[in-house]
Structure 1
Amino acid sequence: MEKVSAVDTDRVAVRQQFMERAIPEFVGIPAPAVSSWTTAHADLHWANLTSPLRLLDWEGWGQAPETFDSATLYAYSLLKPDTAARVRAVFPLLGSPAGLAAEATVCAQLLQTVSRGDNLTLEGPLRDWSEELRRRQSA
């Protein structure tokens, strides 16, 4: 992920306009300021990882808020609390003020998919995560 984030590109994976609309709608907070934009795979979940380690499914890569990929991997780990805790431990920007924009964006993206009938098994954990994000925003 460090190598990916260091790639210079004009491609855009996440637009500020999406964040400004979707985060208030689906997470219930104003879109947090992005402290740093970096290059992201932008669809980093367990089905896009192989052994030996390779990242698959690159069509959406581009600029996103810093920690976007780790926030995505965290989101797709929520059904396995031990795995989610490990992802948070490995990526310490998750849970920090610098990670709030990426986490809120990923949470909003996935809650939007839930509203369309997808990722329904993640709905409860995503709603819990959105509550945590609201608490962090107001702190």
Structure 2
Amino acid sequence: MSAAYKNAAHALGVNVQDPPVWGWHGRTLSHRVGHPAHGACWLRLLSVPESKASGKLWEGTQRAAATFPTIRKPALHALHDHTDSGYAYRAELTAYIDEPVLSADPVLRHELHLPDSWFTTIRATLAAIAATPTDRTAVRQEWITRAVPQYTGYPAPKITSWECAHGDFHTANLTSGAALLDWEGWGLAPRGYDTALLYAYAQLAPNTARRIHRQFAPLLDSTSGRAALLVVCAELLQSASRGDHPDLTPRLQALAEKSAAAAQL
């Protein structure tokens, strides 16, 4: 990955400026970089087996740049692809958002003190995403049918309302200025999926979780929202079964129980 990153940085004409930031399980590698024309940028390198160099995750950032021009996110400046020793690498050069993310990890472990204007912007962002037609898929009914009973112990909801979602909507991908990062996985998901994900990941910061719930109560307390919460709990409990965020597991189990009871599943 480091050698491939140097290759991409040279090809795109950037100077690496900051320490590396590794993505989930080392699948991505990023740095803040300097570009002679664009100034401060972010260079992110994605690695996949060569046979998988296509599809949703590979094309997500590129397609989001064209699909969501009005949403506040890093502008895409350039792409660079190459292959080596059976692996494909895609480098994405985007504008650098000079404001902090709300947490270093998807699981929020500290309380946030955000202005009401931040939530106003986020509601508008979510509404714009949800209203966007797409042929991409973030969550499938087949996975829901299998995973919800397996990881929550409750019957799987039959989703009847699907909307476009960011797909990874949590505080590590949101900045203090309400910019939204990491667009690789967007696509159709149960209505309310993004909001449910934000709420579920915030359970270890109870005051912030309550505020998120108040801000989005009409959606989270709807039939669709409760189904989305159950789906999100299954997804995060599946991740926990692989060793991720063990401290969040009891809260997820409680949230799944509450959501299933409210939905009378």
TM class, shorter-length: over 0.9
- Distance apart, 1:4 and its partner CA: 0.7
Residues in 1 aligned to 2:264 and 2:233: alpha-carbon distance in whole angstroms: 17
The amino acid that maps onto 1:69 is D
**1:60 Cα deviation after fit:** 0.6
Q: Does 1:138 align with 2:261?
A: no
- Give, in angstroms, the shift of residue 32 of structure 1: 1.2
- Could you tell me how far 1:124 is from its partner in structure 2? 1.2
Contact 1:41/1:62 (<8 A) preserved: yes
Which one scores higher on RCO, CA 8 angstroms, separation ≥ 6? 1
SS in 1 for 2:177: coil
Q: Map residues 49-64 of structure 1 onto 2, 5 A cutoff.
A: 49-64=174-189
Give the aligned residue type for 2:133: D
Alignment pair present for 1:48 and 2:139: no
| Aligned equivalents of 1:99, 1:134: Cα separation in 2 | 11
Whose strand proportion is higher, 1 or 2? 2
Identity of aligned residues (%): 48
Letter in 1 for 2:151: F
Displacement of 1:127: 1.2
Please point out which of 141, 161, 172 is paired with 1:36. 161
Residue in 2 that maps onto 1:8 = 133
Matched to 1:49, the amino acid is L
For 1:105 and 1:65, locate their aligned partners in 2 and report how far apart those are by CA, in whole Å: 8
Q: Specify the code of the residue in structure 2 equivalent to 1:60.
A: G
Aligned twin of 1:105: 231
Structure 1 stretch 23-32 or stretch 101-110: which is displaced more? 23-32
| 1:18 Cα deviation from its structure 2 partner | 0.5
Determine helix, strand or coil for the equivalent of 1:7. Answer: coil
Pairs within 5 Å for 1:113-128: 113-128=239-254
Letter in 2 for 1:27: T
Contact (CA 8 Å) 1:28, 1:134: kept in 2 or not?
Answer: no
Partner of 2:220: 94
Structure number with the higher helix fraction is 1
**5+ long unaligned stretches in structure 2:** 1-125
TM-score, normalisation: structure 2: 0.51
Matched length: 139
CA RMSD of aligned residues (A): 1.2
**In the alignment, which residue of structure 1 is the partner of 2:13?**
none
Q: Secondary structure at the match of 1:63?
A: strand
Instruction: Give the TM-score taking structure 1 as reference length.
Output: 0.94
- 5+ residue gaps in structure 1? none
Runs of 4+ in 1 over 4 A off after TM superposition: none
